[in-house]
Structure 1
Amino acid sequence: MENVTTVKVSILGAVGVIGSIIANALGGWDMALRVLVLFMAVDYITGLIVAGVFKKSGKSEMGALESKAGFKGLCRKGMILGIVFIATQLDLLSGTELIRDTVIIGYVVNEAVSIIENAGLMGVPIPDIIKRALEILKSKKGDKND
């Protein structure tokens, strides 16, 4: 029993060290990073629900769960964190905190839009003000002159 406790403490300690190294590389575990990671998790989970339960995913041919689509989603989330890492390094280079925060805010908005779209695919009623805001954001996203 003592061996199990030692192994458990060692594993938890290693996970804690790795997590703190990653959080430090991303500029610290502040509110902005916590919100981004939370929104990324909620978006991924709601995407799984849309595909697995409602079979309405636009990411697969049949609209159902597909491991390849799920893996691509995780890769995209990993790349978002990679871009936050790059923004953090640019902030360190320039002596500011503007670039990282701007990047995180942009991705939080993008994740929020995706969560709302997933909710709509589930049949959750979306208030008109949010629908209009989404339409504006989508039209801005498609406008290459900005």
Structure 2
Amino acid sequence: MTNIKTAVLAAIGTIGGSIAALFGGWTSAMTTLIIFMVIDYATGIIVAGVFHRSGKSKSGALESRAGFKGLCRKGMILLILLVACRLDIMLGTGYIKDCVCIAFVVNETLSIIENAGLMGVPIPQVLIKAIDVLKAKEEK
């Protein structure tokens, strides 16, 4: 049993290391983007599954096709980020990846806020101001 566990952990480590190398290393901005993508997807499922207020389906309820489309969009975001990372490596810069991460983090944040609003959660003013700051950073 220990050998199987070691093999599985080694495989996961190898895959994770390969992905990080492909992206030219892992940054806190990328971690933030992944976390926000997971939160957005989870809150989208809650909005559709519990509150039945999703704009992604006619009934507002959970729909497998809408969920799959959401996952495909998230996958495309990661592919665009990969392109930005590789451009940074090729050009010897570090700002393209950061700009792309910021842009997508803002997008995910807006979607999370929208989902929270559909659930009836009041949005703190400080969060709205933070989103405005991120938007301004994205425009630069």
1:15 to 2:12 alignment: yes
User: Structure 1 stretches of 5 or more lacking a match?
Assistant: 138-146
For 2:57 and 2:106, locate their aligned partners in 1 and report how far apart those are by CA, in whole Å. 24
Output the TM-score relative to the length of structure 2.
0.86
| Selected match of 1:122 from 113, 119, 124 | 119
For 1:19 and 1:38, locate their aligned partners in 2 and report how far apart those are by CA, in whole Å. 16
For 2:117 and 2:46, locate their aligned partners in 1 and report how far apart those are by CA, in whole Å. 12
1:107-146 maps to which residues of 2 (within 5 A)? 107-127=104-124, 130=128
User: 1:83 aligns to what?
Assistant: 80
Q: Report the CA distance between 1:20 and its aligned residue.
A: 1.6
Aligned pair count reads 131
Larger radius of gyration: 1
Q: Which moved more, 1:58-67 or 1:110-119?
A: 58-67
Output the TM-score relative to the length of structure 1.
0.83
User: 1:26 aligns to what?
Assistant: 23
For 1:6 and 1:113, locate their aligned partners in 2 and report how far apart those are by CA, in whole Å. 45
For 2:24 and 2:118, locate their aligned partners in 1 and report how far apart those are by CA, in whole Å. 35
Tell me if the contact between 1:26 and 1:81 (Cα under 8 Å) persists in the aligned partners: no
User: 2:65 aligns to what?
Assistant: 68
Q: Report the CA distance between 1:26 and its aligned residue.
A: 2.0
The CA RMSD over aligned residues, in Å, is 1.8
Q: Deviations over 1:26-80 (max 9, x none)?
A: 2322211110000000000000100111011111111111111111111111110
Tell me if the contact between 2:24 and 2:89 (Cα under 8 Å) persists in the aligned partners: no
Tell me if the contact between 1:56 and 1:121 (Cα under 8 Å) persists in the aligned partners: yes
Q: Which stretches of structure 1, 4 residues or longer, exceed 4 Å deviation after superposition?
A: none
Q: Report the CA distance between 1:128 and its aligned residue.
A: 5.8
For 2:74 and 2:21, locate their aligned partners in 1 and report how far apart those are by CA, in whole Å. 18
User: Structure 2 stretches of 5 or more lacking a match?
Assistant: 136-140
